[in-house]
A and B are shown apart, each in its own frame.
Chain A
Amino acid sequence: MATHEVTFPITDEKEILKLRAGDEVIVQGHIIGIRDRTQIRIFDEGVEPPMDLRGAFLLHTAPNVRKLAPGKYEKICIGTTTSARMVRFTEPLGEQYGVRGICGKGGFPDEAIEPMRKHGMVYFAIVGGAAALETTQIEEIEEVMWEELMPECLWKFRVKDFGPLTVGIDAHGNSLYHDVQAAAQEKLKELYARL
């Protein structure tokens, strides 16, 4: 299991293809915060996002912030939410907008594997609940769009040494979640026999 440093947004697909399920990744550059209502607006209500998502790294978050001025926010506590609720947006995020990384906690079910392979995307597992640390790795909230969806707006964060993340699903069809679940289901049979 290798360790990588990747800067987002990426322009070269090789940056994504080199990552393998289980690898450790530290992220630099810019990441975009997004959540349930943000994606419902884009895909279910058909509203074009006012931010370029090509090559982007999306973070499943609803940050705790303090408003300083119109459109300007200061971080208080920024953490990550459960991804599984938002799995159905994976295909259109890759196909229509060229998103390359999705980061959240708890993993995506198997239906994300094929879209991620097809569109060269990676699911990054963050440690859920480790928000105090995550907040220190976000240097600045550079942009906020769709403030009326607060806190489920589109957020642009500049990050430094964001992680460590684990590649949960890679762009080659491998999913740690699938493997762990398959092994656990086998193990359950053995445990039930012992009860």
Chain B
Amino acid sequence: MSIDTTTELQHAVEDAAAHLYVWALKDIPQDLRDALKSASERETSVPGQRVLSTILRNVEVADSEGNLVCQDTGIAVYTCYVGEHFPLHPARIYDALRDGTARATVEHPLRSNAVHTITRENTGPNIGHRLPIVHWEFVKDSDELHVKCVPKGSGSENMSFLKMCTPADGVKGIKQFVLESIVGAGGKPCPPGIVGVGIGGSADYAMYLAKEAITRPIGTRNADPIVAELEDELMGLLNETGIGPMGLGGDVTVLNCHIEHADTHMTLNPVAVNYQCWAARRATAHIAADGTVDFDREA
């Protein structure tokens, strides 16, 4: 591959990232719209109903005014599925995602949230040391790149929890920890949203998996039937807690619960919780080897 072609492909990825970030902030996926509408239909508490009908009005206004659904432009989190034959190296893909994020922030303009974690000084247009955050997956027998952008708001990210349960705590320990975490979070993470749970692996990997879980389309189920059953059970239990929309009490505390898992050490039983607010924004680009881009709101 020539230098020119590599540069062109890097520009295509950068353009895609710039578009994805703004698009995700403005136009939420259909599965989320459906989940919010269904939540509104089944909520019986007065404050809960008030919150959900306001959310639905807000989504309509964001559509009609072309405005952001939520003011928190978050930190840009990307998940890349890189085909083994995709002709741009991940090191260049990273640069393209960073440059696209910065460009979108300056051109829109979007609020820039990035600060040095000690000095708290702004580090640039939603970029900085190790920002944006990119998750990498590699795909055999493919020459494409799929990039999913998830702008992650801080209100929900602040409600992240990790516990190293013991093997003796079993799956009951996992369920208890998820329940106590979401009840403890109350209204702070902007419920009803998606509860992402990562189980197994190691401490860091469990949290990574919890973040992966919140990026899935709402209501999709883990391929492992044992895990899928736990997703259904936890979703039901969480909606019995009564925390309700914005923590004001009600029937709908979560839109769904997604779990990602990894096998683990015989003495480990890690459980991580990562919350995604009701404005569960995401958008995807499928980028072909020749730089052709297909945008996809629903992936």
**Complex partner residue of A130 from B54, B180, B247, CB under 8 angstroms:** B54
**Is A81 interfacial (CB 8 A cutoff)?**
yes
Contact B279 A129 (CB under 8 A): yes
Contact B176 A195 (CB under 8 A): yes
**Is A191 interfacial (CB 8 A cutoff)?**
yes
CA distance A107 to B176 in the complex (A): 24
**Is A136 interfacial (CB 8 A cutoff)?**
yes
A131-B70, A191-B240, A192-B176 as given contacts; A125 in contact with B186, CB under 8 Å: no
Size of the chain A interface, CB-CB below 8 angstroms: 47
Considering only residues 2-51 of chain A, those with a C-beta below 8 Å from chain B are 22, 24
Partner-binding segment picked from B56-64, B206-214, B221-229: B56-64
In the bound complex, residues from chain A placing their C-beta under 8 Å from that of B61 are 132-133, 136
Contact B47 A166 (CB under 8 A): yes
A64-B68, A132-B65, A191-B237 as given contacts; A180 in contact with B54, CB under 8 Å: no
- The interface centre, meaning the residue of A22, A81, A128 with most chain B CB atoms within 10 A of its CB, is A128
Summarize B's interface: helix, strand, loop or mixed: loop
Partner-binding segment picked from A91-99, A112-120, A139-147, A182-190: A182-190
In the bound complex, residues from chain A placing their C-beta under 8 Å from that of B249 are 176, 179-180, 183
In the bound complex, residues from chain B placing their C-beta under 8 Å from that of A105 are 155, 187-188, 190, 246
In the bound complex, residues from chain A placing their C-beta under 8 Å from that of B73 are 64
Which A residues fall within an 8 A CB radius of B? 1, 22, 24, 61-64, 66, 76-82, 84, 105-107, 125, 127-136, 151, 164, 166, 168, 176-177, 179-181, 183-185, 187-188, 191-192, 195
Return 9 A-B CB contacts under 8 Å, by A number: A77-B71, A81-B155, A128-B187, A133-B57, A166-B50, A184-B241, A187-B240, A187-B242, A188-B241
